[in-house]
Amino acid sequence: MKKTLATLLALLSVCGFTACEKPQASESTAVLTEPPITETEEITTVHITAEPPQTTEDVYVATTSAEPTPETPEPVVTTGGFVPDGPFDLMTSNLESYIDVSAYKGIKVGLGDVLQIDDHLVDSEVARRICALPDDVMIHDRAAVSGDTVNIDVDSINDIEFENQLVSDLWLVLGSGTMVSGFENCIVGMTPGETSEFSVVFPDDYNEMLAGKEVVFSITLNYICPTLTDEIAITHFDAESAYAFRETVRFELAVAENNIFESAKETATWTAVLSAARVIRYPSSLIEEEYNKLVEKYKAEAEQNGVTYEELFVSVYGMTMDEAEAMLTEAANFFAKQRLAIYAIARDMHIDVQSVDEAALYDKVIPRIIAQATFAD
């Protein structure tokens, strides 16, 4: 019986457990009888990665939203909701009767500092690049110790086998605390090529699926990554020395972080503009257009998953159809508000919207808003 990576990630979440107890041959182990959690549940908070250490982008994305979050639609203040209207055109209709975007001028935007490229981030990126080198560079002839970056496979959990492509080549820095407390200690002392089983008991206050249960992990240590040396820097990275390679990595991280920061500034600015914009009423034709696009999107997803449109929400997303309809309506309002706002601002800036593709309007509008905006940490 095979499970997906979702179950594996749930089993390794950051609650503590009793680790490294070798399972006794005469004892039976708990079997997971509940269905695995879906990709949309707790998985996103689990500290496990198929890369070794975090990259700059990983760190930043963990603290900064990459996309605006759909908000509750603005209350209708004039006509009371989705009102049948005449022909509506974003390019020519009087948008002032639909949305007020006047607050975009000189808007104040909250934004964190650029991530500092410290030695820890440089070390992490250097280790990531070394771990991507050919296998003959890796260490196979000694036991793993705390501080090593290792490559492991999770072969099974409670004798449940996993598809190799989902749980092989997992990177882990022993002693980093990336995994749950104690898990990394179970790998310390293993030799590359060795497979080891150990049992853990999850605490009683863990999630319902695993609370108080004993779980047996089977782990294979594939190899240990070497640390940076002059020889590795010269031979594999065309650098003059280990120090020169580290400084090159530091510079590249700084450039990448600046690009990420500028992108985040755009996102934060547009999110602030949308939040400040006030919808007076929604054009019914625009709402219908956005709603229908969402329905088609989810119908296509249902077909890909071999279920009906209704089954997708009920079985896959765990929603009632009333909840699904409410979600789709809220999302349609959000996307309609975005389109109203971008056109209203573009026209206020005297941009010829009829000569610009809709997708390109954002690139014309956002730099002008940023130039007028005030940013605060």
Residue 28 burial by CB count (10 A; 0-12/13-18/19+): exposed, middle or buried? Answer: exposed
CATH topology of domain 2-51+142-220: Chitinase A; domain 3 (3.10.50)
Question: 101-160: per-residue pLDDT in tens?
Answer: 999 999 999 877 777 899 989 998 999 999 999 999 999 999 999 999 999 988 877 765
pLDDT given for residue 30 in this prediction: 28
Question: Given pLDDT bands bounded at 50, 70 and 90, which one contains residue 180?
Answer: low
Strand boundaries in 186-321, DSSP class E: 195-201, 214-224, 278-279
pLDDT beyond 90 at 224? yes
Place of tokens 């985040």: 264
Question: 190-199: per-residue pLDDT in tens?
Answer: 999 999 988 7
Average pLDDT over residues 314-340: 94
Share of the chain above pLDDT 90, in %: 53
Q: What is the C-alpha separation between 95 and 353, in angstroms, rounded?
A: 13
pLDDT given for residue 159 in this prediction: 62
Share of the chain above pLDDT 70, in %: 72
What is the residue-averaged pLDDT of the chain?
77
Angle between helices 119-131 and 242-276 (to 10 degrees): 110
Query: Contact 139/192 with Cβ under 8 angstroms?
Result: yes
Number of Cβ within 10 Å of residue 310's Cβ equals 11
Q: pTM of the entire structure?
A: 0.56
**Could you give phi then psi for residue 91, rounded to 5 degrees?**
-85, -30
- Higher local confidence (pLDDT), 85 or 10: 85
Instruction: Go through the chain and tell me how many residues it has.
Output: 377
- Every domain of the chain and the residues it spans: 2-51+142-220, 65-111+245-376
